[in-house]
Amino acid sequence: MRNHPSGSVRIQDVLTTPVMQNFQPVRLKDGNDHTLAILSSSGTSGFPKAVTISNSHKIIVDYMGIQIKILDEQGEAQGPNVVGEICFNNGQKWLGYYQNPDETRKIQDSENWIHTGDLGYVDEDGYLFVIDRLKDMLK
């Protein structure tokens, strides 16, 4: 194994350095899989026209009919450069988790907005930055 992907937020150096030192030549690659996977497999014809991820976790997306909003802890939509939960709506209804409507309701609201669990913001130019997760998966 040469590369090992992380399906969550950027892995802090304090965690990656020992792994990379002890398991050379393995490289850990971080990503924001929930948001990116959903956006890139949203079922919208032709999407994504352009998705670029830079080292700063700037995601450049040609949204092609996908609406994105950032919500604060009270569920209120935020303006540019304010960090909150990344949500999107592609105009389609997700069928949900198999036989698990409670978990489905935690992710898809009554207006079909998908709550990714990723934290980020949209800047004044419309670029989406994914910076963290709402809750840590590993403790």
* Prediction pTM value: 0.65
Give a yes or no: residue 6 inside a domain.
no
Give a yes or no: residue 139 inside a domain.
no
What's the one-letter identity of residue 111?
Answer: E
Q: In this structure, what CATH number is given to the domain that contains residue 89?
A: 2.30.38.10
Per the structure block, which two tokens stand in for 16?
């990656």
Give a yes or no: residue 2 inside a domain.
no
Task: Provide the pairing of β-strand 27-29 with 3-5.
Answer: parallel
Determine the pLDDT at residue 128.
83
**What's the domain count of the chain?**
1
| Structural domain boundaries, residue 124 | 32-133
Give a yes or no: residue 138 inside a domain.
no
Per the structure block, which two tokens stand in for 133?
């997760």
Give a yes or no: residue 3 inside a domain.
no
Determine the pLDDT at residue 15.
65
pLDDT block averages, 10 residues each, the chain of length 139: 56 66 65 53 43 50 73 94 91 91 93 91 83 70
Determine the pLDDT at residue 60.
52
Determine the pLDDT at residue 82.
95
Exposed, middle or buried, 88 (CB in 10 Å: 0-12/13-18/19+)? Answer: buried
Determine the pLDDT at residue 71.
95
Determine the pLDDT at residue 45.
45
Give a yes or no: residue 14 inside a domain.
no
